[in-house]
Amino acid sequence: MPHHWIPNSAKEVKQEMLKETGVDNVEEFFKDIPEKLRLKKKLRVGFGKPLLEHEARRKFLGILSKNKFTGFVNTHRVFLGGGVCVHYIPSVVKAIVSRAEFYTAYTPYQPEINQGILQAFFEYQSLMAELYGVDIVNASMYNASTAAAEAVRMALRVKKGRERVLIASSAHPEIKEVIRTWVKGLNVRLEEIPYRREDGELDISALHAKLGDDVAAVYIESPNFFGIVERKLRDIIEVTHDAGALAIVNANPLSLGIFKAPGELGADIVVGDAQSLGVGLNYGGPSAGILGIQDRRELLRQLPGRLIGMTKTVDGLENGFMMILQTREQHIRRERATSNITTNSGLEAIAAAVYVSLLGAKGLKKLGEALLGRTTYFLGTLRKHCVDAAPLFEKGLYFREVAISFKDRDARDVISQLEKQGIYVGPPLSRFYDAMRDCSLLCLTELHSKDDIDELVSKLALVLGGEAR
């Protein structure tokens, strides 16, 4: 049946083309498919018949309206954390990534006709390198979880022969699970390093005890899953290096406007997620995974993923951009490639580049401060007005996210009570740790005003049975 997306489906055009091709019927083209494999029935796809655009729109909106969550207008009451949080997406970012020259482009295999998008990727790599304090960042991975998994695999190749990788117990549980999945098939033992009860930071003496000459890498997050900033990151990296292992640090990009960059502190491989840089939540994806390294030959040779470089035209007169070091990649190296990654998160990487360009160093610093300010304000208000809840780590430095304990109240129950009042908090930590029944995460961003935070605390106090003052 002819369709407006398919130019040559128009009957007369189709007939003309068939004739010029020398066949009577399209069936001719499919005769080499064994008869019994050729479908005779119509497939049950769609809603009984093709929908016209206005019908599809109505159908789509009808289904989506079953969401009780009503979108941006609601986000000042969404305090959900867990690696990703509600952050504002500037209109400029949306406008640029909605340009069809970008979003309908393929991977720039023909650089001369795609200089613009190549330059945008090059700028993404450069801007992230500045933010994370490293020399090289690739053109993106799928998200932080796969960037972390690829970083671990990469470290195992660089430190060939070493068969243990140490992972901070305070890392995001889903990232830990992704790493575990991605190293199946490799000869490696993953071991966890505990965090300290008092401040939630990595227990450096435990790390010290676990390190040895069979450890390839240490993976750590700052802020970690509980929202705790690792204040001893430099020491952790030094201890790791003393044992000859690589330090992989996953940092939230918005924390880097105010906190020292992991690369500056000596991290060999840095990881991050671009979700907070104007990409959006997207119910968990897509985002873009940031993966960067220091300029060392052994690291660069093992770096997975696409990399854009600046070069000159053959005549040497003009600058230009193209994909580089492709001999690392699957389409050339096949089973000996550094990774199978092909499609990445190009458009989200551009979103991140536009976001960072838009805020500039000034805007990033101020946003970082404002985020830390909110965490501080929330904890202060909680201490004053809600005695039945407390931060999980009394002496920890929280940024953006806070692990909070409800003192023996089931967190799932507390969360669902808050939901009924239109306030979304979570995830409950029992989702990941059986022993943390009374704990939850929550997240405070630029989308939450002082009033919103006050309301959160007072509602929380009410739910927990305390008096809201």
Partner 1 sequence: MKYRQARWDEPLIFELTSGKDKETFQLGDDYFAKLGKEALTEVAQNIARKEGPNIPNLSEPEVVRHYTRLTQMSYGIDVGVVPLGSCTMKYNPKICEDLANDDRITYAHPYMSEEYLQGLLEMLYTLQEWLAELTGMDVCSLHPPAGAAGELTGVLIIREYLRDREYTYKDEILVPESAHGTNPASAAMAGFKVVRIPTDERGNTDLNALKAAVSDRTAGIMLTNPSTLGLFEEKITEISDLIHSKGGLLYYDGANLNGILGIARPGDMGFDIVHLNLHKTFAAPHGGGGPGAGAICVKKELADYLPKPLVRKEGSRYYLDYNIRKSIGKITWFYGNIVPAIKSFIYLMMLGPEIREVAEVAVLNTNYFMKKIKELPGVDLIYGRERWRKHEVVISFKDLLRETGVSAEDVAKALLDRGIHAPTIYFPLTVPEAHMVEFTESESKRTIDEVVSAYRDIVRQAYEDPGKLKEAPRNTSVGRLDALRANHPRTLAPTHKYVKRNISG
Sites for partner 1 among residues 300-319 (CB under 8 A): 306-319
What does the radius of gyration of the chain's CA atoms come to, in whole angstroms? 26
Cβ closest to partner 1, residue 196 vs residue 210: 196
- Which residue lies nearer to partner 1 by CB, 114 or 240? 114
Residue placing its CB nearer to partner 1 in the complex, 105 or 390: 105
Ranges within 12-31 binding partner 1 (CB under 8 A): 13-14, 16-18, 20-23, 26, 28-31
Is residue 196 part of the contact set for partner 1 (CB under 8 A)? no
Q: Which is nearer to partner 1, 50 or 212 (CB)?
A: 50
Kindly identify the residues of this chain, within the stretch 60-79, that bind partner 1 according to CB under 8 A.
60-61, 63-72, 74-75, 78
Count of other CB atoms within 10 angstroms of residue 111: 15
Minimum separation from the CB atom of position 63 to partner 1 (A)? 5
Closest CA to 253 of 170, 348, 395, 346: 348
Distance between CA atoms of residues 410 and 1, nearest Å = 57
The CA distance from 336 to 347, in Å, is 28
Does residue number 117 form part of the binding site for partner 1 (CB under 8 A)?
A: yes
Q: Which of 294, 376, 417, 430: binder of partner 1 (CB under 8 A)?
A: 376
Residue 32: partners with Cβ closer than 8 Å, 6 or more residues away? none
Smallest gap from residue 467 Cβ to partner 1 (A)? 26
| Residue with token string 């079953």 | 66
Nearer to partner 1, 139 or 158 (CB): 139
342/339 Cα distance (integer angstroms): 9
Q: At what angle do helices 411-420 and 450-463 cross, to 10 degrees?
A: 120
- Minimum distance, C-beta of residue 82 to partner 1, in the bound complex (Å): 5
Token pair 């960059």 is at which residue? 261
Pairing of strands 289-293, 136-137: antiparallel
Per CB under 8 A, the list member of 202, 220, 228, 371 interacting with partner 1 is 371
CA distance 207 to 224: 16
Count residues binding partner 1 (CB under 8 A). Answer: 216
Nearer to partner 1, 207 or 228 (CB): 228
Residue 380 burial (10 A CB sphere; 0-12, 13-18, 19+): exposed
What part of residues 157-186 is at the interface with partner 1 (CB under 8 A)?
Answer: 172, 174-175, 177-178, 180-182, 184-186
**CA separation for the pair 156, 183 (Å, rounded):** 10
Report which of 217, 347, 329 is spatially closest to residue 270, judged by C-alpha positions: 217
- Chain positions 232 to 261 lying near partner 1, rule: CB under 8 A, are 233, 256-261
**Is residue 387 at the binding interface for partner 1, with CB under 8 A as the rule?**
no
Q: What's the one-letter identity of residue 78?
A: V
Residue owning tokens 């055009």: 13
- Shortest Å, Cβ 205 to partner 1: 20
5 or 465: whose CB is closer to partner 1? 5
Residue of 77, 86, 251, 393 that binds partner 1 (CB under 8 A): 86
Binds partner 1 by CB under 8 A, chosen from 169, 224, 252, 344: 344
Cα dihedral 328, 152, 254, 100 sign: positive
